[in-house]
Structure formats: structure tokens, C-alpha cells
Amino acid sequence: MKKILIIDDADDTRKTLKTLLRNQDIEILEASNGVEGWDIIIKEHPDLILLDLHMPQKDGFSILEDLEEEWMGIPVVVVSGDTEEETISTCNFFGAKAYLKKPIALEEFKKVIKVIEEA
């Protein structure tokens, strides 16, 4: 069974992502901040991470950098309300496989998840 980790400090976003992932044969892990998320990454080594950028304690940029530094090879989809091109470029530079803007568009979400699962 695949594991997907959702790291986002917004409860409503985590709930939305869980709803979008229902009816799939996956285990969903959740973290409400970057420190908790990093601990889960180390312990569980998920198959995919859905990552917010702007969070307290440890932000998504730090997690992307740490994943790159540790050569963990876990695909990351950034899910953020930050639509600045510089932000998106930075995420791509640090290895994000996709960037989804909040609010999440269902069809775009499904398309991204399908492409990553097939890779």
C-alpha cells in the first residue's frame, strides 16, 4: 500500500486533500507543521508528499532543501496559495514534481497525481 504524506498547517486543506484521495488504496499520513512532517518523512519514508510552503517552525522550502540534500528521492507536489513565479521556480529548482495552486482544482489534482503514480 502506498503512503502519501500531507504536510499543511491548514486543517481545511488537509481535509480537502484527504477527500480528493479517498477511494484509493493508499495510507494517508498527516502533519500540521514542517517539523512534524520531517519526523514522519524520516520514520515512514512516504511514496509521495503533498507540501504546503508557508508554515510555522519549518517551512516547505526547508523540507524541499532537506529532501534534496538527503537524496531521499520522494516525489513532492507543492500545494500553495503562493502564486509568485519566483516561488514556483524555487520549488522546481529544489525538485518539486508539480505545483498546485490553492484553491485546488479537482481535475488538475487528479491529473498530477496520475502522472506521478505512473512515473
How many structural domains is the chain composed of?
Answer: 1
Query: In this model, does residue 119 exceed pLDDT 70?
Result: no
Are the C-beta atoms of residues 13 and 31 closer than 8 Å to each other? no
- Mean pLDDT along residues 2-19: 95
Alpha helices in 45-98 (DSSP H): 60-70, 85-93
Report the DSSP beta bridge partners of residue 79: 100
* pLDDT surpasses 80 at 94: yes
Please compute the mean of the pLDDT values over residues 77-85 and round it to a whole number: 94
pLDDT of residue 23: 79
The range of the structural domain enclosing residue 22 comes to 2-118
Torsion sign (Cα): 6, 96, 86, 90: positive
- Would you say residue 7 has pLDDT above 80? yes
What CATH number corresponds to the domain at position 29? 3.40.50.2300
The pLDDT tens digits for 18-75 are 999 987 889 999 999 999 999 999 999 999 999 999 998 899 999 999 999 887 889 9
Question: What's the Cα-to-Cα distance from 106 to each of 8, 15, 50, 103, 115, rounded to whole Å?
Answer: 18, 14, 14, 9, 14
